[in-house]
Amino acid sequence: MDNLNLISNFAEFKELKNIDKSTMIGVLEDVFRHALQKQYGTDENFDVIINADKGDLEIWRNRVVVADEDFADEVAEISLSEIQKIDPSFEVGDEYTDQISFASFGRRAVLSLRQNLASRILDLEKANLYEKYSNKVGEIVTGEIYQVWKKEVLVVDDDDNELVLPKSEQIPNDFYRKGDTIKAIVKSVEMNNNTPRIILSRTANQFLERLFEAEVPEIYDGLITIKRIARIPGERAKVAVESYDDRIDPVGSCVGVKGSRIYTIVKELRNENIDVINYTSNTQLLIQRALNPAKVSNIILDEERKTASVYLKPDQVSLAIGKGGLNIRLSKMLTDYDIDVYREIEEEDVALAEFADEIDAWIIDALRAAGCDTAKSVLELPIEEIAARADLETEQAEKVVAILKAEFE
């Protein structure tokens, strides 16, 4: 194998693996100097000249001309009688430089050099790949599905680097076919047996966050911030957003005109439903918004235990819980509170006319004329006001209240 063949092969390899020129030259020079040390015991008086663009490689040996009787080191010196056979003009003390033929290394040395070079390039490529994707952790990448296995999917990027999407990081509704294009976030980069293993994810909250950044310019520009995300991949997600500009509606910006912005995200996530709500530091209000579309009647917080007792009208309880408990699970994840839902016990009101056998008709008529036509509407008033509205004595008003109260005891 000659110099040109070796360097040309490397130049092609370099182009495929995207190794920068200066690094390539450094590796080449280091490998060839190592070969020189093995061949000659030293590389100090050798010059390795590499032109990576042209694929040229030259090795030059520098030796000092010495008198025949002083000749002792054939690597660093050349005798006067020998140099004069080449060029009679040389004298003792001059430096003679000659080019070393790569073929002179011998077949075994060439084979060893080639193996060393391939090994160094492979290690360099692994290091570059590890560094490249370590800097991409948390970013979305696009790749082509190369192989689908039971426990993971193999994806290749534009440089034919292999990326792995484990089953645990796949959206349940995902369906993969070889050749399809896929988007995912770089979750982590591991080193297994000195080989980078790049783990992708489509279930991570960050994936949803990056999709919002891509579709909502206000988020990308920092005008709207995603404060919290709760997600059950493939089913439903809740996203709390906040705007630093009062003129910008964060929820409306995220949803887009007629849902145009969020539709793209939902489609990418295999029709995963996404609720966008306004973030607030008021915990009660945040819980109320998180439980949407249910309408909350009352919330009692225990901040030390991070629990919330939420009271709703009976017809709102199922909305708060959601299908399969999704809504309340996501609300707990979003607010970081353990939420318990309770039905409000509603007592039925009774019309005053129903008390005609216990209360005089003229009193009932007077109360109705005063705007109180049910028992509860009367009980909400103080005794003095009841007496004044119906022109009653205090004792009469107290008797009416006692009769009405008895109905609800």
CATH superfamily of 280-346: K homology (KH) domain (3.30.300.20)
Of all residues in the chain, what percent carry a pLDDT higher than 90?
46
391 vs 157, higher pLDDT: 157
Instruction: Give the separation between CA 66 and CA 84, rounded to whole angstroms.
Output: 11
The pLDDT of 7-17, averaged and rounded, is 51
Higher pLDDT, 33 or 105: 33
Query: What value does the mean pLDDT take over residues 61-89?
Result: 89
115 versus 4: the higher-pLDDT residue is 115
Residue 9 reports pLDDT greater than 70: no
Judge whether residue 370 has pLDDT over 80. no
- Buried b / exposed e over 242-253, threshold 16 CB at 10 Å, is ebeeeeeebbeb
pLDDT at residue number 231: 96
Instruction: State the Cα–Cα distance between residues 49 and 81, nearest whole angstrom.
Output: 29
2: confidence class by pLDDT, cuts 50, 70, 90: very low
Angle value at C-alpha 19, between 14 and 25, nearest 5 degrees: 80
- Whether the predicted pLDDT of 313 surpasses 60: yes
Q: How far apart are CA 240 and CA 238, in angstroms?
A: 7
pLDDT at 272 over 60: yes
Indicate where the chain has its CATH 2.40.50.140 domain(s).
136-201
Can you tell me the mean pLDDT for 89-117? 81
Q: Where are the beta strands (DSSP E) in 149-211?
A: 152-156, 162-166, 181-192, 195-201
SS3 349: coil
Choose the CATH number for 3-131 among 2.60.40, 3.30.1480, 3.30.70, 1.10.1660.
3.30.1480
List where CATH 3.30.300.20 sits in the chain.
280-346
Q: How many CB atoms lie within 10 A of CB 286?
A: 22
What is the sign, positive or negative, of the torsion defined by CA atoms of 30, 36, 38, 44?
negative
Class of residue 122 by CB neighbours under 10 A (exposed 0-12, middle 13-18, buried 19+): middle
Mean of pLDDT over the chain: 87
What's the confidence (pLDDT) of residue 55? 61
Residue 280 to residue 329: CA distance in whole angstroms: 19
- Residue 240: pLDDT band with limits 50, 70, 90: very high
Mean pLDDT over residues 313-327, rounded? Answer: 89
For residue 140, give the 3-state DSSP assignment.
strand
**What average pLDDT does the segment 294-317 reach?**
90
CATH number assigned to the domain covering 136-201: 2.40.50.140
**pLDDT for the residue numbered 47:** 86
pLDDT-based confidence at 353, cuts 50/70/90?
confident
pLDDT per residue as tens digits for the range 130-163: 999 999 999 999 999 999 999 999 999 998 899 9
Checking if the pLDDT of 3 tops 70, the result is: no
Tokens representing residue 226 in the block:
């995603």
**Which residue is listed with tokens 């070079």?**
117
The answer for residues whose C-beta is within 8 angstroms of residue 25's C-beta and 6 or more apart is 50, 52
Helix/strand/coil for 227 = strand
Long-range contacts of residues 245-251, Cβ cutoff 8 Å, at least 24 apart: 248/218, 248/223, 248/224, 250/218, 250/224, 250/276, 250/278, 250/279, 251/276, 251/277, 251/278
Residue 141's SS3 state is strand
pLDDT score recorded for residue 25: 76
Percent of the chain with pLDDT over 70: 93
Task: Report angle CA 253, 259, 265 to the nearest 5 degrees.
Answer: 85
Place of tokens 């003095």: 384
pTM of the full structure = 0.68
Residue 15 CB-density burial (10 A; 0-12 exposed, 13-18 middle, 19+ buried): exposed
Average pLDDT over residues 351-378: 84
Q: Residue 358: which residues within 8 A CB-CB, separation 6 or more?
A: 403
pLDDT on residue 380: 85
In the chain, residues under CATH classification 1.10.150 are 352-406
pLDDT reading at 308 higher than 50 = yes
pLDDT surpassing 90 at residue 324: no
pLDDT at 53: 64
pLDDT computed for residue 177 by the predictor: 93
Cis amide leading into 196 (omega within 30):
no
- Supply the CATH classification number for the domain 352-406: 1.10.150
**Over the stretch 40-70, which tens digit does the pLDDT of each residue have?**
888 888 888 877 666 677 888 899 999 988 8
Between 173 and 215, whose confidence is greater?
215
